[in-house]
Amino acid sequence: MLTVMKFGGTSVGSPESLKSVAEIIVSTEGQKVVVVSAMSGVTNFLVEAADSDKIDCKQVIETFSRKHLAVAEALFDGEQMKAFLEEFDARIVSFEKTLRGDRKDPFYKDAVTSSGERFSSLILSHVLKSMGQKSVALTSAAAGIHSDGVPLNGFADLKRTDADINMKVRPILEQGAIPIITGFYGMNDLGKPLTFGRGGSDYSGAVVANALTADELQIWTDVDGFMSADPRIVPDTIRIDEMNYGEAAELAYFGAKVLHPRTIEPARQRHIPVRVKNTFKPESPGTLIHHLRGPKNGLLMSVAAKTDLSIITISSAEIAYRPAMVARIIEKIAEKNVIIYSISTSLSTVAFLLHNNDVQHTLNQLNSLADTDIEKINVKSDVALVCCVGDDLLDKCGVSGDIFGAVKEVGTNVEMISEGASDSSLNFVVPMETVVSTVRALHAKFVRGKNGRL
Ligand code: ADP
Ligand code: ASP
Ligand code: MG
């Protein structure tokens, strides 16, 4: 039995939680490989430092060291502390070099912002050693995680990672040691760290599980599992006991932050079950995500929302009869690696849903088309996409009517609808200022209410 266990920021964020994490690892049967995020707050701190026009490197290193040393001092003493400090000091030297590196390097921010994981992994590995376990802290480079793609938004090269991890991590397992691997990034072709986007350690966990063909991937976090909505905006959410890969992937892609949007695919590829568990309540069964699941009662399983989006509408006479032109538009947008969350067309318009941050370079791309046939481009910013996932949502008669009826009661306007792309989800766009009330209303009516499971 081989389990890949990923622990998030709050799980490794304090001496007490690090001890709980170590106990969870030790009490897990069989071989285990651990992947960690940075301690909570650390990545935000590093993003701020990397983004600022004038970094005070000395100050950043001091604050960063102090935060990690305070945790280490609460956990280790004597010889243990001495052994820890030797490795810690070496990592601080290399962190300083990274921080003082070439800010014009396109991967500079990736290198700086992924530094937190190198320290949380080191601390956790020493906690395990202090409990008499054999453990090795591995950076993504030392573990063999390879990445590809654009700065701050990479993806794993699964083939190369597969070959390399098996060479580097398997022998450690065979010696009975527990590898603790940095999440959030892999090494690109230039030998530089390339991050997987914020929250990317979940994806790292899935990539490691894929490469080692693990029996299970566990995502340990600060909530009871995959819930029926984001507990930060809906107070009375319900834990989902079981979901299939498609449902979890769809919700994660459309805003359920509990899993990084790309987490499911590497696990699904090798049929690896994913379990979402609460570090602070390990006895709770959590959520099991796998191929099949039993039928559920009730209309909705979960509601998620992707915020800070914009709709770009391109008008051109009879565009529906000119697929080549639509193809050219999409090609132009794709050149900048912009994610399109939804597309809808009418006789004379085609509309794209994308992130607010992608609007300007998408408009530049569209202008470079120099297509005299384009009559008008309209941008509507600050909208959100609501994603409803439930059993055969689109097969049941009248479901969309019920859902839009509830949305109407909120008094909001539905700007764009996309249903049918996946048989289990119904997505639509509302203005940002009504997204919270829309999610709450749908949850109250279809998850907790008389049409729901309770
Ligand atoms: P970690 O540091 O463990 O990766 P994250 O903060 O990235 O933790 O993800 C967990 C958080 O995701 C939860 O605390 C919760 O606020 C949020 N969340 C959003 N949608 C959901 C959902 N459907 N189920 C559970 N948690 C969710
Ligand atoms: N530490 C990284 C972040 O905050 C990765 C992660 O937490 O998954 O985005
Ligand atoms: Mg996360």
CA–CA separation, 452 and 356 (whole Å): 34
CA–CA separation, 21 and 14 (whole Å): 10
Measured from the alpha carbon of residue 44, the closest ligand is 2
Nearest CA to ligand 2 atom 7: 199
Q: According to the model, what pLDDT value does residue 373 have?
A: 76
Q: How far is the CA of 102 from the centre of ligand 2 (A)?
A: 23
Work out the end-to-end distance of the chain between its first and last CA atoms, rounded to an integer number of angstroms: 36
Q: According to the model, what pLDDT value does residue 391 have?
A: 77
Q: According to the model, what pLDDT value does residue 413 have?
A: 84
Q: What is the pLDDT of residues 93-122, one digit of tens each?
A: 999 999 999 999 999 999 999 999 999 999
Q: According to the model, what pLDDT value does residue 412 have?
A: 86
Q: What are the start-end ranges of the E strands in 356-411?
A: 376-389
Pocket of ligand 1 contains residue 221 by CB under 6 Å = yes
**pLDDT at residue 263 tops 90:** yes
CA–CA separation, 366 and 338 (whole Å): 13
CA–CA separation, 408 and 401 (whole Å): 10
**pLDDT at residue 424 tops 60:** yes
Q: According to the model, what pLDDT value does residue 421 have?
A: 54
CA–CA separation, 135 and 127 (whole Å): 9
- CA 394 to chain CA centroid, Å, is 27
Query: Which pair of structure tokens corresponds to residue 340?
Result: 């399109």
Q: According to the model, what pLDDT value does residue 368 have?
A: 84
Residue 454: pLDDT band (50, 70, 90) is very low
Give percent of the chain above pLDDT 70: 96
In order of 169, 237, 308, 442, 447, the CA distances from 451 in angstroms are: 49, 15, 30, 10, 7
CA–CA separation, 440 and 430 (whole Å): 13
Q: According to the model, what pLDDT value does residue 238 have?
A: 95
In order of 288, 310, 323, the CA distances from 313 in angstroms are: 40, 10, 16
Q: According to the model, what pLDDT value does residue 299 have?
A: 75
Pocket of ligand 2 contains residue 46 by CB under 6 Å = no
Neighbours of ion ligand 3 (CB under 5 A): 8, 199
Instruction: Give the number of the atom of ligand 2 that is nearest the alpha carbon of residue 260.
Output: 8
Give percent of the chain above pLDDT 90: 82
In order of 5, 174, 243, 450, 454, the CA distances from 389 in angstroms are: 27, 42, 10, 17, 17
Q: Which of 150-154, 169-173, 187-191, 332-336 has the lowest mean pLDDT?
A: 332-336
For the chain, how many residues are written? 454
pTM of the model: 0.95
CA–CA separation, 446 and 298 (whole Å): 7
pLDDT (mean) for 124-146: 98
307-324 as b/e: b if 16+ CB within 10 A:
eebbbbbbebeebeeeee
Contact 3, 275 (CB under 8 A): no
Across the strands, what pairs with 219?
A: 6, 276
Q: What is the pLDDT of residues 214-257, one digit of tens each?
A: 999 999 999 999 999 999 999 999 999 999 999 999 999 999 99
Where would I find the H helices in 2-107? 15-26, 42-51, 57-75, 78-99
Q: According to the model, what pLDDT value does residue 401 have?
A: 84
CA–CA separation, 53 and 60 (whole Å): 14
Instruction: Give the number of the atom of ligand 2 that is nearest the alpha carbon of residue 200.
Output: 8
Q: According to the model, what pLDDT value does residue 406 have?
A: 87
Q: According to the model, what pLDDT value does residue 97 have?
A: 97
Pocket of ligand 1 contains residue 278 by CB under 6 Å = no
CA–CA separation, 403 and 423 (whole Å): 16
**pLDDT at residue 419 tops 80:** no
Q: According to the model, what pLDDT value does residue 416 have?
A: 84
Please name the amino acid found at residue 179: P
In the chain, the domains with their CATH numbers are 2-290 (3.40.1160.10), 302-448 (3.30.2130.10)
Query: Which pair of structure tokens corresponds to residue 78?
Result: 């004597």
**Kind and range of the H or E element at 427?**
strand 425-431
**pLDDT at residue 18 tops 90:** yes
Nearest Cα to Cα of residue 148 among 159, 139, 138, 156 = 156
Instruction: Give the number of the atom of ligand 2 that is nearest the alpha carbon of residue 201.
Output: 8
Q: Which of 123-132, 150-159, 214-223, 366-375 has the lowest mean pLDDT?
A: 366-375
- What is the average pLDDT value for the chain, to the nearest integer? 94
Instruction: Give the number of the atom of ligand 2 that is nearest the alpha carbon of residue 44.
Output: 4
